[in-house]
Amino acid sequence: MDAIQQQLQLRLKEHGLELNELQLEQFELYFQDLVAWNEKMNLTGITEREQVYTKHFYDSVSLAFYTDISKVQKLADIGSGAGFPGLPLKICFPHLKITIVDSLNKRIGFLQHVVDRLGLTDVELIHGRAEELGRKEGYRDSYDLVTARAVAKLAVLNEFCLPFVRKGGFFAAMKGGDPREEMKEAEFSFNQLKGRVKAVHPFQLPVEESERHIILVQKFDKTPYKYPRKPGTPMKTPLV
C-alpha cells in the first residue's frame, strides 16, 4: 500500500468505512484501466493518480456518508460515464446489486472490462436511454437507491431517475456548487414524479476543498404512467 492508497483508506475510515487489501487493489486496477482506456476514448479529464483517487473514488463513495448503504440492496446509477459513483460504491459494498445505465456503448465496453478485471458480481451494465428503461418492468419502481453524478440539471434528472426508484426509496443527486436555484426550478418535477426532498448535505472534498452537495429525494408514490416521456424530451423541455 502506498501513500495515496493509505490516504483513501484513512479518509474513508473517518466515516466508518474500512477498506481491505482486495478493495484497495480493485481501486488501483480501476485507476490503471481508466487511464489506459482514456487514451483511446474520452472517459475523464482527470487522470493524475491522486486526483482520480480524490475527485472520482472518494467523491463517489461520499454518498455512503449520508445514506445507510448497508440497508440498500438494489442500486441504479444513471448516466454513469466512467462508472462513477456506481463502481466505487460496489467495491466498498460488495453486497450491492447494481445496475449501470449509459447511452454510449463504448463506455459500457470499458465498464464491462473493469467489472471483469476486478471480479465484481451482481453488476448489470446497460447500453440504453434512461427514458426507455424507466418504463420497463423490473426497472420501473424497483430500486432502493438511484443516483446520478454530474449528469444534468435537477429538473431533468428527476425524470431520468425517479421512475427507477421504488415507493419509499431514494434518489440521490450528487452535485457540485450551491444547488438552491436548481432545486427551486425542479419543484414542479418533484411533484409530478412523486418525490420529496428529505435532506441536502453540503461537504467539501479533501485538500482542494471543492464544494459538493448530495440532495436526497424520497419517492412517496409510484411513477405516473405518462413519465418518463420520450427519449430526448426531458432535456429539450424539462418539467419546470
Burial of 208 (C-beta count, 10 Å sphere; 0-12/13-18/19+): exposed
pLDDT of 150 > 90? The answer is no
**What pLDDT is stored for residue 37 in this prediction?**
97
Backbone angles phi, psi at 12, to 5 degrees: -75, -35
3-state secondary structure at position 44: coil
Q: On the CB side of 56, how many CA atoms lie within 13 Å of its CA? A: 25
Q: Kindly report, residue by residue over 71-86, the tens digit of the pLDDT.
A: 999 999 999 899 999 9
Q: Binding site membership: which residues?
A: 79, 84, 130-131, 149
**What pLDDT is stored for residue 208 in this prediction?**
76
Q: Report the C-alpha gap between 81 and 104 in whole angstroms.
A: 8
Residues 218-239, buried b or exposed e (16+ Cβ, 10 A)? bbeeebeeebbeeeeebeeebb
Q: Report the C-alpha gap between 178 and 191 in whole angstroms.
A: 22
Tell me what the mean pLDDT of segment 216-231 comes to: 97
pLDDT of 207 > 90? The answer is no
Q: How far is CA 157 from CA 85, 153, 174, 175, in A?
A: 15, 6, 11, 11
Helices (H), 72-153: 86-92, 105-118, 130-133
Q: Residue 45: pLDDT band by 50, 70, 90 thresholds?
A: very high
Q: Residue 127: pLDDT band by 50, 70, 90 thresholds?
A: very high
Q: Binding site membership for S-adenosyl-L-methionine: which residues?
A: 79, 84, 130-131, 149
pTM: 0.96
pLDDT of 218 > 80? The answer is yes
Q: Kindly report, residue by residue over 173-186, the tens digit of the pLDDT.
A: 999 989 999 999 99
Q: How far is CA 103 from CA 88, 192, 198, 239, in A?
A: 20, 25, 29, 21
Q: Residue 209: pLDDT band by 50, 70, 90 thresholds?
A: confident
Q: Kindly report, residue by residue over 89-112, the tens digit of the pLDDT.
A: 999 999 999 999 999 999 999 999
Strand 195-204 and strand 211-219: the pairing is antiparallel
Q: Which three cell numbers stand for residue 117?
A: 478485471
Q: Residue 1: pLDDT band by 50, 70, 90 thresholds?
A: confident
pLDDT of 151 > 90? The answer is no
3-state secondary structure at position 97: strand
**What pLDDT is stored for residue 86 in this prediction?**
97
Tell me what the mean pLDDT of segment 170-197 comes to: 96
C-beta separation of 193 from 159 below 8 A: yes
pLDDT of 12 > 90? The answer is yes
pLDDT of 211 > 90? The answer is yes
